[in-house]
Structure 1
C-alpha cells in the first residue's frame, strides 16, 4: 500500500508542483484503485479517475537502453501529452517527436533543448515552420517538393529527413502509406531537386505502421533504406540520421514483444548500418512508453437487464431487438389491443403477435416469458396470457410472489438463473466512454478488458454490454462480453490505457475528463530523482 509519503514534482513554466504518492513494492493495482475509491467515497465523489504510474516510464526507458542501446527514442507526444508524463520523460533524457507548434511549445517550456525535438510532420503550417525556425527546432521531415519549397522559404537552414513509403503488403492496425511518404522509386528525382534548391537533407525516416502484424517489417525497411542512403550520398548529401519511426508494442503479447522487435532491429542495423557508417539512429515510440502508465477506474452508473424482443415465426419466436425488463422479469397487469404484446409500452409498430396456438387464457393477470429455447434455438413465449390475451413487459418492481417465477431466484440482490437460460443480457452504463478515455477502443479497435476489486463475485458470468455515459448509441465500450453481475455504484478498472486515450477525448455531451492521481514505487522514484538531479547539474 501507500508508504504515506507524497513527493512534489516541480513543473516548468511557472505551474504549481504536482503531488506523487509513493507506494511500496508489494502494492498491487487492486490496492491502489481501492485506496482511491475509498478516498472518493469519503467525499461522495463518483468521478472516473486515472492512476498514472510514472514508474513505468522509467522502467520502459531502462528496458529500451538495455535491449536497443544504439537507437535514441524521441517520444511521440501525440500519443499522450499529459504534462506530468512529458515532464518526467524530459527529465530522464528522452527526445520528442512533435507534429505542431503547440506540441513544440509544450516541450520547449519544459526546458528541453531544441536538438532533442524532431518536427515529424511531413505537411506543416507555414506559421509552424516559422516558429520552428525562431526556436531553432531544425530537424524535420518532408516527403515531396511542395514541402521542400515551404521549408526553403521559412527555414532554409533546417536539417531534413525524407520520409519514404514502406512496402505495400505491410499490415498494421494503422497504416500511413496512403497519406505520407515518398515512393522509393521517386527518391532520386526528389533528391536531385533538393540538391538544386541547396537544402540540407541529412537522412531518411519511415513508419511501418502502428500496431504492425510482423516484426520483420523493420528488417525489410531498414534494408530498403540502406540503398536509398547510397543514392543520397552519390548526389553529395551527407547522410547521418536514420529515423525508424514507431510501431513498438506498448505491452508484450505472445505474438509480439519488445525484446523480439529489438532483436530484429539490432540485427538489421548491424548488417546495413554498422557503426562504422557514421549514421545516428533515432525512433519515435509512443505507445511503448505510456500504454502501461495509465489505469482507468470507472463506476457503474446504471444497470438494465434486457431480453431480446420476439418476432412471430410459425411456432417459434425469434430474438430480435432488445426489450427492457427488470431484474425480476414481471409483466404489467394492464393489457391493450387484442392479440398483441407490447414491450414496455412501445408503439404499435413494435407489437409482438402471438400465434393462435399460444393464445390460451387462464384468467391470470400476467404473462411470463419462460426463457426456454426451441430445437432451433429460438426463444418461445410461455403459452399462458392474461384474460384478454395481452400484456405489456414492464420495469415495475416485482412483488415477493414472483421471486421464483420463470426459473429466476432473487437472493441478496442477485439473480440466479438456470444454465439453459440465454435470453437475458446485462447492460451497464459506466461514467467514461468512447468519446472520453476509451477513445482508443474506437480508433485502435482495442478490446477493453476490465478488472474487478476484491468485493466482486466473479464466479458466475453473464452476457453483458458496457455502455459509455453519452447519448450516442455508438458509445459502446464492450459488446457482448462475459462479466460477473455488477451492481450500481460498483467500481471496475482497465489497465494499459495510456496510449491514444486522453489525447483523442472530445468531451461530447459535456462529460468531464477523469481525475488523475500520480503514483510511483519508492525504489523507482529514487532512481528518477537521481536522473533529474543529474540532468539539472549538467544544465
Structure 2
C-alpha cells in the first residue's frame, strides 16, 4: 500500500488517478444529493456512482486474519480493481482477460489466484507466461491439463461444501470434489509431481445460512489430513471462498468462520487463510441513476421506460435475484400520491421489465430513478442487445467525507 492514508493511496491508484473524483458529505445528502448535482450538470443518460470511501470502510471491516482476494467477475470496473489493489487485496481471476486486467494495474502475479477449476488451455498457458502460479482443480482431467500447460503451477483442491439451497447461486452444483473423490484427486496430483498447496471451497453466493461454513471448514481439514496421510508436503492455504454480503449477515458469518477455523485449524498456525469476496466489496458501493425516457398513462396506471434494463446493468434482477426498489431522484413532498407503476428497460423485448405494480409518484420524461446496491453482477454481465450497450453506462467516481 502507498504512503499516507488509505484514501490517499486509493486516489493515486491505477484506474483512479487519471479520472475525476467527486467529494460529497455522506452525513448530509449522501449519494442521492451528489447524483442530483450530476444530473443538474447536464448528464442525459444512465450512470453509476462508485463510492470509494465505502470500499475503504468495507476493507476495514473485513475478516481479521483472512486475506481477501477480490472476485473480479463480480464487477471488473478498473477503478474498483485499482482501489482494492492499493488497499493490499489479492485477486480471484477466472479467465485470461481477468488476469490481464489485474496485471495491467501493476499487481504482482503472486497476488492472483486463478480460481477456475476448469480452464481453457490457452488461458492456462497465459497464466504460466505471466507468473500466476496458483490455481484450483476438482477433476483428474484438470490435473493432466495443468501438468501439460503449466507444470510449475501449484494447486488448490476445490471441494464441495455442504448443501446450501438458500444461496442465490449454489456453486456446488457445478464445482467441488465430493468427499470420496478427495483422496483420488490428491493422488492424481502426487503421481504427476504437482504440488497441492491447499484446499478451497465456496458455500454459494449471497446465502443467508452461516452454519455451512462450519461444515465446509471441517471437510477442508479432512482433506488436509488426507494429504498428510499420503505423505504429501504440508498444505499451507485454506481458501474459504466468497459469497459474503456486507452487513449483519457478514458479521454473523465472520463469527462462525473464526470459531470453525480455531477449532479445526488451531493446531496448524502456519496455514494462510484467504477468501474470495466479490459482492461484499462491490454490491453496496455502487448506485445507479436511470433516466425516464418514455411514459404512458392508462387510467390510474403509469408505465415508464428508462435507459437501463435487464439486458444492461439491471440484468442482476434475473441473474442474481436482485430486488429493485427504485426511488425518484427528485426530492418529493411527504405524502405525495403514488400510482401502481411498471418500469420497462429500453429494449423492444417485453421481458425487459424492471418492476410491475410498483408504487411511484407521478414521474415525467427526463426525471431520474435511483437504484441502490447496484455493484454485484451488474455491468460486468450486461449485454449489447438491441443496440443498447451496457458499456455506455458511465461510472462516476466519488468519495464520501
Q: Same fold (TM over 0.5)?
A: yes
Partner of 1:245: 241
Counterpart in the other structure of 2:312: 436
Equivalent-residue separation in structure 1 for 2:31 and 2:398 (angstroms): 11
* Structure 2 counterpart SS, 1:488: coil
Gaps of 5+ in 2: 1-8
In the aligned structure 1, how far is the partner of 2:384 from the partner of 2:330? 31
Distance 2:176 2:195 in 1: 18
The whole-number CA distance in structure 2 between the counterparts of 1:24 and 1:463 is 34
The 8 Å contact of residues 54 and 520 in structure 1, kept in 2 or not, is answered as: yes
Partner of 1:415: none
From 197, 204, 213, the counterpart of 1:209: 204
Structure number with greater CO (CA < 8 Å, separation at least 6) is 2
1:497 maps to which residue? Answer: 374
Cα RMSD between the aligned structures?
A: 2.0
Q: Which residue is 2:25 aligned to?
A: 24
Contact 1:433-1:467 at 8 Å conserved across structures? yes
Equivalent residue in structure 1 for 2:399, among 504, 520, 526? 520
User: What SS is found at the alignment partner of 1:223?
Assistant: helix
1:106–1:46 distance in 2 versus 1, CA, 3 Å: same
Contact 1:427 1:465 in 2 (8 A): yes
2:335 maps to 1:478:
no
Tell me if structure 2 keeps the 8 A contact 1:8–1:18.
no
Residue equivalent to 1:299? 291
Against the structure 1 CA distance between its residues 468 and 127, is the aligned structure 2 distance closer, same or farther, given a 3 Å change threshold?
same
Q: Could you tell me how far apart the structure 1 residues matched to 2:17 and 2:65 are?
A: 36
How far off is 1:46 after superposition? 2.0
CA distance in 1, matches of 2:288, 2:203: 29
Which deviates further from its counterpart, 483-492 or 224-233? 483-492
Contact persistence 2:10–2:82 (CA under 8 A): no
- Contact 1:51/1:519, CA 8 A, preserved across alignment: yes
- Superposed CA deviations along residues 72-104 of structure 1, whole A, max 9, x for unmatched, are 100000001111111111111010000011111
Shift of 1:8: 10
How many Å separate the matches in 1 of 2:202 and 2:164? 14
| DSSP-derived class of the 2:396 partner | strand
Give SS of 2:33's match. helix
Determine the structure 1 residue equivalent to 2:41: 39
Distance 1:103 1:475 in 2: 28
Query: What's the offset of the Cα at 1:425?
Result: 2.3
Preserved CA contact (<8 Å) 1:428 1:464: yes
Residues 8 and 276 of structure 1: CA distance in aligned 2, closer, same or farther (over 3 Å)? closer
Q: CA deviation at 1:11?
A: 6.3
Asked if structure 1 preserves the Cα contact closer than 8 Å seen for 2:166 and 2:208, the reply is yes
Give the TM-score normalised by structure 1.
0.69
The structure with the greater share of residues assigned to helix is 2
Asked if 1 retains the 8 angstrom alpha-carbon contact of 2:10 and 2:86, the reply is: no
Distance 2:263 2:239 in 1: 17
Q: Distance in 2 between matches of 1:16 and 1:62?
A: 22
- Matching residue within 271, 285, 301 for 1:425: 301
Q: Which of 293, 312, 323 is 1:447 aligned to? A: 323
Contact in 1 for aligned 2:75/2:379 (Cα 8 Å)? yes
Deviation at 1:269, TM superposition (A): 0.6
Contact 2:96 2:123 in 1 (8 A): yes
| Correspondence for 2:270 among 278, 295, 306 | 278
What corresponds to 1:49 in structure 2? 47
Say if 1:287 and 1:159 are closer, same or farther in 2 by CA, change over 3 A: same
TM-score (norm 2): 0.92
Give the Cα separation in 2 of the matches to 1:270 and 1:168.
23
Aligned residue pair count: 389
> Are the aligned partners of 1:299 and 1:430 in contact in 2 as well (CA < 8 Å)?
yes
Corresponding residue of 1:387: none
Counterpart CA distance in 1 for 2:90 and 2:13 is 18
Three-state SS of the structure 2 residue aligned to 1:210 is coil
Separation in 2 of the partners of 1:29 and 1:171?
31
Pairwise CA distance, 1:454: 4.3
